[in-house]
Amino acid sequence: MAKYSLPTGVIAGVLSLSLATNALADNDLLKGLVIGGALGAIANSAASKQRTTTKTYVQPRSSGVSSAQRESNREVQRALNHFGFPAGTADGVLGSKSRSAISQYQALLSFPVDGTLNDIERNILVTAYQRAMMGGQYVTQTVSTHPMGMRGLLMKQKEEALGVGGTTRMSGNYGGLPPEVAQAVDEIARNSGVEGTALMQRAGFIQLADMNKDGKTDYLIDTSKSGSQFWCSAQSCIARVFASTPTGFQQNDFQVTSREQIIPAAFSCQQGNCTLNDFAPQPIGTEPVAPAEPEEALPDKKMASAEGPMVPNFFKPAETAVSVSAAPFCSKIAVNTAKAGGPETAASMTSPAQAIGEQFCMLRDITIDQSETLLSQIEGFTPQQIAEQCAGFAEHMTPAIKAAAGGDREETLNATTALLQDLGMSAEQIAGTARICLGVGYRTDNMPTAIASALALSAVNLGAYDEMVGHHLATGVGGTMRPDLAVAWYDNAFEVTQKASAEPLRAPEDAEGQTLVVAASHELTGTAKPKPTLMDFSNAAATAAK
């Protein structure tokens, strides 16, 4: 991405703010607004130059690289940068700088140094990066004790992938659990960003019973207790049963639509093979309980079980998100993409939820890159200071964030506009500030900052950012999962970006992604798709005629 030069007046304004900020230290909101104004001026100066440069090229240059490959390359570049191998901006193009970074990575891990990644080398790099983003005890312990610090994750990942240098796991140290069960606890902990010992202390996470009536203890793991969306979808969570056999334990995985069903009595096991009963038996009450009480309770429980597969039940406001941030969500999406052999496409979509997740995570990365490019033009403020100011902006926008979680699009935008008017900033300054803070929110995994910024951009008529609001509603990342409300945001983003004068989020070669999102959203919610519209070239034609 091109580096933008700033007008002298803007640079002078930034320098002067470093002095003004100290005087306003006792007024965090005012300080945030002052800095916000500067960020807005800088961002809009850069964005204006970017748009002008873009319009200069009538015929965009084709890189010959598919959208999926470009996103795969971006992930490699982000991983290289994270481990201290400078690959530059994650633009999806593996140029000389990226090849140099790959060579450094290969040299560190004693691979043949040729500047290109084979499947094994890429898998080790990307998996280590995803684990670093997830965090948890394994990452903390490795980074703090390994002589190479963060790069120690790469060494450990290589050992685990290639079976050299010893094991990286500590399975079986959970109060005498069988190895098969202990390894499952490790896996769930690793993909949930939670310590295994902490999971073991959560009530109901692991339940013991003789489920196959062979006189031995069997084990039931309820992954919903992990608090991670990695193991749960909008409709179900994974229950993992380990039934005893003469040679050990056999694992059985089930998608369970009601958490009340994740009890031993809900499963029937014959030796190592288990099945999920059609209806989970209700817990047995005490003798004095009158039959009228369970009869009143049963209709609710039956209704929840019967209506579970029905679309209206999936989108009740009470269905809140399991994940609270984008990093673990996108790690799960990346794993699913790898398992499927590639991302979802409009021509062969098998999972609407996965398709939406892939597009969300791709745009998340794009906004981070754009934000960092703009931030490189700002002097006198540390990344921490910028993040704090963006968090203050998000706090001011809290009522709008709450409105988005439970109201329609128009109501939410009205609430957002009212809050923005209180800031006393121009639309250009708001847009610039929000562009920067959007990427900062995703980079720091601060979802209120990201959502507030997306709402602000939508409110100042940058409709392409409606898609980001829709993604948060559709996935539940950062708040309440409401795919039904996401539809209007997706549809508007699609309609707006069909105009030639619109500012898109995606590169032209990735434009299919927006069509995929709209199709996935309507399939997920069972609603009608919007009618296709002819792109509006009137503005472009009028400009060309002058």
pLDDT digits (tens, 9 = 90+) for 12-63: 333 333 323 333 333 343 344 444 555 555 555 545 544 444 444 444 444 4
Is the same domain home to 429 and 489?
A: yes
Is the same domain home to 187 and 139?
A: no
The answer to whether position 298 is within a domain reads no
For residue 251, the cross-strand partners are: 242
Is the same domain home to 373 and 443?
A: yes
pLDDT value for 64: 55
* 439: Cβ contacts below 8 Å, ≥ 6 apart: 367, 368, 369, 370, 371, 372, 374, 375
pLDDT value for 449: 95
Is the same domain home to 129 and 261?
A: no
Tell me the C-alpha distance between 220 and 269, whole Å: 12
Q: How many CA atoms lie within 13 A of 156 on its CB side?
A: 23
Please tell me what DSSP assigns to residue 202. S
Domain end call among 282, 314, 343: 282
Start-to-end Cα distance in the chain: 30
Whether the Cβ atoms of residue 334 and residue 239 lie closer than 8 Å to each other:
no
Angle, helices 447-459/409-421, rounded to nearest 10 degrees = 90
Amino acid at site 502: A
Is the same domain home to 362 and 250?
A: no
**Which contiguous run of DSSP H or E holds residue 243?**
strand 237-245
pLDDT value for 418: 94
pLDDT value for 152: 87
pLDDT value for 37: 52
pLDDT value for 2: 37
The answer to whether position 308 is within a domain reads no
pLDDT value for 175: 63
The answer to whether position 82 is within a domain reads yes
The answer to whether position 26 is within a domain reads no
pLDDT value for 462: 93
Amino acid at site 506: R
Whether the model pTM is above 0.85: no
Please tell me what DSSP assigns to residue 272. T
Tell me the C-alpha distance between 251 and 240, whole Å: 7
pLDDT tens digits along 325-354: 887 788 778 767 767 777 888 888 989 999
Q: Which residue range is the domain that position 132 belongs to?
A: 67-162
pLDDT value for 68: 81
Is the same domain home to 489 and 518?
A: yes
Is the same domain home to 119 and 247?
A: no
The answer to whether position 258 is within a domain reads yes
Structure tokens at 285: 């009450």
Q: How many domains is the chain built from?
A: 3
Whether the Cβ atoms of residue 208 and residue 223 lie closer than 8 Å to each other:
no
pLDDT digits (tens), the chain, 546 positions = 333 333 333 333 333 333 233 333 333 433 444 445 555 555 555 455 444 444 444 444 444 567 888 888 999 999 999 998 888 888 888 887 888 889 889 888 888 877 889 888 898 999 999 888 887 778 888 887 777 788 889 988 888 877 654 333 344 456 678 888 888 888 888 777 677 877 888 888 999 989 999 888 899 999 988 887 777 776 778 889 999 998 889 999 888 877 667 899 889 999 989 988 864 433 333 333 343 443 343 334 333 333 434 333 333 333 443 445 887 788 778 767 767 777 888 888 989 999 999 999 889 988 988 888 888 777 777 888 888 889 999 999 999 999 999 889 999 999 999 999 998 888 999 999 999 999 999 988 899 999 999 999 999 999 999 999 999 999 999 888 899 999 999 999 999 988 888 888 888 878 888 899 999 999 988 886 655 554 444 444 444 444
The answer to whether position 42 is within a domain reads no
pLDDT value for 243: 93
Buried-exposed string 368-399: b where 16+ CB fall within 10 A, e elsewhere: bbbbbbbbebbeebeeeebbbbbbbbbebbee
Is the same domain home to 153 and 184?
A: no
pLDDT value for 533: 52
3-state secondary structure 452-486: HHHHHHHHCCCHHHHHHHHHHHHHCCCCECCHHHH
pLDDT value for 177: 81
Is the same domain home to 102 and 130?
A: yes
Is the same domain home to 346 and 486?
A: yes
Is the same domain home to 134 and 244?
A: no
Domain end call among 282, 317, 352: 282
The answer to whether position 78 is within a domain reads yes
The answer to whether position 139 is within a domain reads yes
Is the same domain home to 346 and 429?
A: yes
Tell me the C-alpha distance between 90 and 529, whole Å: 33
Q: Residue 327's closest CA among 137, 192, 143?
A: 192
Q: Residue 321's closest CA among 201, 452, 479?
A: 479
Whether the Cβ atoms of residue 435 and residue 443 lie closer than 8 Å to each other:
no
The beta strands (E) that lie in 283-441 are given as: none
Domain end call among 101, 134, 162: 162
